[in-house]
Amino acid sequence: MYTLLEPLLTPDQIKLTDADRRAAVAKLDSAVRQAALAPSQASERQLQLLTAETRGELRKIMAGVPDATPPRGLTTALRAFTGVWLVTCVVQFVIWVALAMFGHFDGPWWLWSDLGLGAVVAILWWTNESYHRKSDVLVAP
């Protein structure tokens, strides 16, 4: 169960994939084209990418490159909403089971709030992931 929730609770500890590295290299190349980074800085960061293992390390490597990694506030919101969602799910389920044990069985009313908060977590996760997957950074004219 923890391996399922780990990316939501600790997004900066996710292992880097080849796709993450390719997207980061494309963003570094785009930063050079936009004159946000010198070519020597970009090549130094590309070398650091080879040894980086987590997205937290990627965040440090890509510091100063615009829109290269999710904002810290987004990852904090993802962690916070995931925590609230999990606690809400567990508490409401326990209350529902306790009521059912005493003869007050009702439909799974807790699903409405769990699904609503789950949708918020899904949107935050999708937004967070979009930073790691997009490699076609637009160049301003």
Q: Kindly state whether residue 120 falls inside one of the protein's structural domains.
A: yes
* Backbone torsions φ then ψ of 41, nearest 5 degrees: -65, -40
Instruction: Mark whether 130 and 89 lie in a shared domain.
Output: yes
Q: How many CB atoms lie within 10 A of CB 35?
A: 7
Q: In whole numbers, what is the pLDDT of the chain averaged over residues?
A: 84
Query: Of 62, 88, 103, which marks where a domain is finished?
Result: 62
Final residue in a domain of this structure, among 44, 62, 80: 62
**84 in a domain, yes or no?**
yes
Reported as a single tens digit per residue, the pLDDT across 9-58 is: 888 888 888 888 888 888 888 888 888 888 898 899 999 988 999 988 99
Residue whose tokens read 């290299």: 25
Do 97 and 131 belong to one domain? yes
Same domain? 134 vs 82: yes
Percent of the chain with pLDDT over 70: 92
Q: Are residues 49 and 91 in the same domain?
A: no
Tally of domains within the chain: 2
- Whether 67 is covered by a domain: the verdict is no
Residues 33/139, Cβ–Cβ less than 8 Å: yes
Q: Using the structure block, give the residue that is written with the tokens 């070519």.
A: 39
30 and 84 both lie in a single domain: no
Q: Please tell me whether residue 15 adopts helix, strand or coil conformation.
A: strand
Among 62, 89, 111, which residue terminates a domain?
62
Which domain does 88 fall in, by range? 72-138
Which pLDDT belongs to residue 2?
56
Cα–Cα distance, 58 to 128 (Å, whole number): 14
